[in-house]
Structure 1
Amino acid sequence: GDDMAILAALGLQSYRFSIEWARIEPEDGVFSQAALDHYQRCIDACLSRGLAPVLTYHHFTLPLWLARQGGMTSPEFPDRFARFCEHATRHLRGFDIACTINELNLPLFIREPLMARMTSEKALARIAAAEAVLHGSINSFFLYSPREVILNQGLAAHAKGRDAIKSVRSEIQVGVTFAVQDEQAEPGAEALRDQRREDFYGVCLDAVKGDDFIGVQTYSRVVSKRDGSSGPEEGHPRTVMGYEDRPQALAATCRFVWERTATPIIVTENGWAGDDDRRRAAFVPEALSELHDAIAEGVDVRGYFYWSLLDNYEWAAGYGPKFGLIGVDRATQQRRIKPSAVLLGDIARANALGADNRSAAAPQVMGDGAPVGL
């Protein structure tokens, strides 16, 4: 509630957060009313502060019972996910926008780098320890699944989850989010760039044409190179995540997704990681200015969420990278509002970017829970 009060006081209009499947369904087919009540209180806290809640049903984590069955590789996964979506939607009220699965396509990018790291003795020992906890093989969705399983299972789960949500409340706007990098090429490497676009995004985007929206999550650009490699441009400034510091990437990915799908877009994540909040405060309006130009060209962008409201736990990178508009002292949980948060709030209140007041085609400004936004 306190974080939502800060978000509302800043002038932001919406809060995106996930509902944790493992808490709501701790055992197969057994649902926790206490967990559902907790998330209803979160929704109510948003509404009481004038924030529109946006729910994400699946953000990387799975219930332990489902992990033991093979997780997202289990043939039962799409139906189990649909059951969860239906039950949660039936018991939660007060929200009108939902994301089924966060970054459904992410395994397509990270399988090979992760598999390379998982061959070390230390990594194999950690896998063995995790398997002991699970009382069986991890059968990791990210690491060991063929591409076809990732696509078929993930896209089937999204479709069934979407239909389950709408079977309860047809008016809810439902979409799925994708990690989308701005794929560009050195001269002579265009074929590699085009292949990456097809491999990482093409089938997924084609499968969700006609959804209420597509969530675009963009942080940077990747350059395909003549030597067959791909990555940041040599010598270009980078964030602490190792990404190119390139705010223009967001507009480029939104153009790409719109041209491919003609489906409305919500920017569900975009942000900058580092300790220098002055750079973050410059990055955000630079990204939004470019996005405004894309909207003026006809790209249908309905909203923007910054990642993240708070300095968050960034998975394998832990608490090191600082994405947040608000800093957190992990010992005391004290919050520190950064100048970039005030800046984004001012943009949200005005629904305009600075003195040029280019508001006519601006998207609705939104904020987010491990995101925040415009």
Structure 2
Amino acid sequence: MSKFPADFMIGAATAAHQVEGHNIYSDFWAMEHVPNSVYKEPSLDAVDHYHRYEEDILLLRNAGCNTYRFSIEWARIEPVKGEFNEQEIEHYRNVLNFCHRHSITPVVTLHHFSSPKWLISEGGWESEATIESFGKYCRYVVSRLGQLIPYICTINEANMGKQITKIMKRMMSAATPKKKDTADVQVGLNVDMGTRMEHYYRELGETFGIDPSKVQPFLAPRSKQGELIIMKCHETARSIIKELHPAIQVGITFSLYDHQALPGGEVSVRKEQQEDLLDYLPFLQEDDFLGVQNYSRKIHGPEGVVPPDDTARLTKMGYENYPTALGNVLDFVASHWSKPIFITENGLSTDNDEERVEFIKQALNGVYRRIEKGIPVIGYTYWSLLDNFEWQLGYDQTFGLIAVDRSTQTRHPKESLSVLGTISAGGID
């Protein structure tokens, strides 16, 4: 039996907009409801985690897990610029207190993709003003809840805009976009360069009251200036958190692939690794941990990324089911980062829970072996706790450890939840 260290954190993760429901002041709510929306369906009441969080956290705890990563929704906290909602702060205080009462370590993400609608109307994630706005939001939250939060991820997948930018460039340069590109990002994002997208952005311009070309949500192609703004937001948040509660452990998360080279693909691998993580390291030197999020691998040939061969097992998202990718990514990260590593997302979208069980066991075996090698991995939160709203792809994707009948919001825990809890409590066979 391979048993993790006694203080190792194992649990699951969610994001507010994907599970809570009725996030009506957010940019995503607006984007889901405009005419010609590219979203398959609106989030609506999602899986009603906002009202059912106690039930969901107890299912996680009763299975044997000890950690829950979730996000606080900026659009709920500050629905109108400068007007903070104390009632919503109390809601998240209740969530945090419930975690502590039931011996669950809460890991809080301050920004997980969704933003207040007003922020996008003011320039969004390409505007210098966002740095100050994000700082004020962080100060408000941490000043009221910081004593209950041991770990904070400031921003989820800070490199996602860069990854989207690369996909768009590839698609624009191709005569016929490849089907594989639609699943090239580790989120439910379907990038479509056609006429539908043009109509969609025209509608967004009207909704946000700005030039359609200036609509800049977090999940959008990003300029170099936008990349710098994200990092300045992180640095600002970290400074505020440490000022208010120095004991809080602060980090940021990145979407990272296991980049593997075929003969001649080594240069392409090094380029992707540089862009995915290494470019950001100068901004992270004062962080306490690094959040690693991995779902699959990318194979590189002399001309760049090549699709999986016909023998590869694919997930419902369309990318390769390759659980050993996580251990390989840990090796890469540890060669450039000596502080603690927190695996904040890793998971599988499948309708066959036996595949999910296999994925979890193989992924965590890889994690255990890296800990034995001395890599300072401190936690693992599977994505996700619940089958949820997978952004543009709606409710068809099934990453969850718990299925939800959305007609009744009844929870149906899967065997994979029990397996993850057993590993947390006892280890891996």
Normalising by structure 2, report the TM-score. Answer: 0.79
Aligned residue for 1:313, secondary structure, equals: coil
RMSD: 1.5
What is the aligned partner in structure 2 of residue 333 from structure 1?
A: 409
In 1, Cα distance between equivalents of 2:105 and 2:303? 47
Query: Aligned pairs, how many?
Result: 352
> Which letter does structure 2 place at the counterpart of 1:20?
E
**In the alignment, which of 131, 138, 144 is matched to residue 205 of structure 2?**
131
Whether the 8 Å contact between 1:19 and 1:57 is mirrored in structure 2 is: yes
| Matching residue of 2:90 | 37
1:179 alignment partner in structure 2: 255
SS state at 1:140 partner: coil
> Using the alignment, how far apart are the partners of 2:215 and 2:203 within structure 1?
14
2:337 maps to which of 248, 252, 261: 261
C-alpha contact 2:164 2:221 (8 A) present in aligned 1: no
SS at match of 1:306: strand
Per the TM alignment, residue 222 of structure 1 is displaced from its structure 2 partner at its CA by: 0.4
Structure 1, 106-115 or 295-304: larger mean CA deviation: 106-115
Q: Aligned pair in 2 of structure 1 residues 144, 2: CA closer, same or farther (>3 Å)? A: closer
CA distance in 1, matches of 2:289, 2:252: 8
CA distance in 2, matches of 1:272, 1:60: 20
Are 2:257 and 1:211 equivalent residues in the alignment? no
Q: Using the aligned pairs only, state the percent identity.
A: 35
* Paired position in structure 2 for 1:225: 301
Give, in angstroms, the shift of residue 118 of structure 1. 4.7
Q: 1:130 to 1:312 in 2, by over 3 A?
A: same
Match of 1:296 in 2: 372
Aligned partner of 1:310 in structure 2 is: 386
CA shift in 2, pair 1:36/1:349, >3 Å: same
In structure 1, the residue matched to 2:156 is 102
* Aligned equivalent of 1:358: none
Question: Which one of 155, 167, 184 corresponds to residue 113 of structure 1?
Answer: 167
1:144 is displaced (CA, Å) by 4.8
Return the alpha-carbon distance in structure 2 between the equivalents of residues 205 and 238 of structure 1. 32
1:83 paired to 2:159: no
> C-alpha offsets along residues 221-267 of structure 1, whole Å, 9 cap, x if unaligned?
00112233344355311111112111111011111111112121000
Provide the rounded CA distance (Å) in 2 between the counterparts of 1:18 and 1:272: 20
Task: Pick one of 353, 364, 370 that aligns with 2:428.
Answer: 353
Does residue 271 (structure 1) correspond to residue 347 (structure 2)? The answer is yes
Alpha-carbon displacement from aligned partner over 1:79-131 (angstroms, at most 9, x marks no partner):
21111111100111312111000000011111243574453111111111121
The 8 Å contact of residues 295 and 348 in structure 2, kept in 1 or not, is answered as yes
Instruction: Specify every segment of 5 or more residues in structure 1 that has no aligned partner in the other structure, as ranges.
Output: 355-374
Partner of 1:249: 325
SS of aligned partner of 2:335: helix
4+ long deviations beyond 6 Å:
none
Task: Give the TM-score taking structure 1 as reference length.
Answer: 0.91
Distance apart, 1:313 and its partner CA: 1.0
Greater relative CO (CA pairs within 8 A, separation 6+) = 2
Out of 62, 79, 93, the position equivalent to 1:26 is 79
Contact 2:168 2:221 (8 Å CA) reproduced: no
CA contact (8 A) 2:161 2:221 kept: no
Q: Is the 8 A contact 1:210 1:263 kept in 2?
A: no
Contact preservation (8 Å) 2:204, 2:215: no
Does 1:287 find its partner at 2:341?
no
Q: Is the 8 A contact 2:162 2:221 kept in 1?
A: no
1:145 aligns with 2:199: no
Structure 2 unaligned runs (5+)?
1-53, 172-190
1:366 match: none
Partner of 1:369: none
Change (3 A) 1:144 1:295: closer
How far the C-alpha of 1:210 sits from its partner, in A, is 4.0
Q: Tell me, what secondary structure is at the counterpart of 2:202?
A: helix
- Cα 1:180–1:229 shift into 2, 3 Å: closer
- Choose which of 53, 59, 63 in structure 2 pairs with 1:10: 63
